[in-house]
Amino acid sequence: MEGTVPVSRRYLINLLDKVDRQEYGTRIGGGLNPNEQRLRNKALISLLYLSARRISEVVGLRRGGETIYKGVRLSDIDLDGELDSGEKVINITFQIIKKKKPKVIEFPLDYEDEPFITHILSWINHQKKAGEDKLFPLTQARSYQILQNLDPRIVGNHWFRHQRLSHLARTLNPYQLRERVGHWESIEPAVAYVHGRIADYMKAVKEARKI
């Protein structure tokens, strides 16, 4: 994702609105109807962004005909998660598979992070009512195709991860970004997301006068 320009949060919210303006095919062979497809696609966008996870770590990954990871299942989602502070969160267990040894992480989502959370919860409820076990019954390739059809500027399977990390780098230092979100082996990838702003520099200049 090197060289990919970070977009604004408003841009991402506009993508959710764009989902509703797309045309969808009718249900084929027990598939999803247009409204269900819209519901699913908005939830997919929302979860990819908020969790900063790769597409394969959300929907699963097959390699050489072998299933490496089945993707997030409803049993991986705890809607009653709680932080040490007592704040209620949604805890989702993901498997990080881009490593020599797969690593399982539990990632919290803020209940107040709207409109993204509403779309995620709506799809979770849909899957529960449908009796489905898997959160997104999609392949990695199909997921990327859905996103590309929505906006061709979404380049690469890690595009939403890149956007989220770029946003969080404005408030987290590289060590926090690596530990809490990125889960990289070294600190270098986290440092690359710290984009300095002139306003931040001037603030630092003013603070330095007090030293």
Judge if 34 and 137 occupy the same domain. Answer: yes
pTM of the model: 0.87
Judge if 142 and 202 occupy the same domain. Answer: no
Give the residue carrying structure tokens 């797969």.
102
Judge if 93 and 32 occupy the same domain. Answer: yes
Judge if 148 and 196 occupy the same domain. Answer: no
pLDDT tens-digit series, residues 125-179: 999 999 999 999 999 999 999 999 999 888 888 899 889 988 888 888 888 888 8
Alpha-carbon distance of 51 to 181, in angstroms, equals: 8
Edge-to-edge strands of the sheet including 77-82? 77-82, 88-96, 103-110
Considering only 20-29, 148-157, 167-176, 201-210, which range has the smallest mean pLDDT? 201-210
For residue 209, what are the domain limits? Answer: 169-211
Burial class (CB in 10 A: 0-12, 13-18, 19+), 179: middle
Question: Of 72, 79, 76, 73, nearest to 97 (Cα)?
Answer: 72
Judge if 128 and 201 occupy the same domain. Answer: no
| pLDDT confidence bin for 199, thresholds 50/70/90 | low
Judge if 203 and 136 occupy the same domain. Answer: no
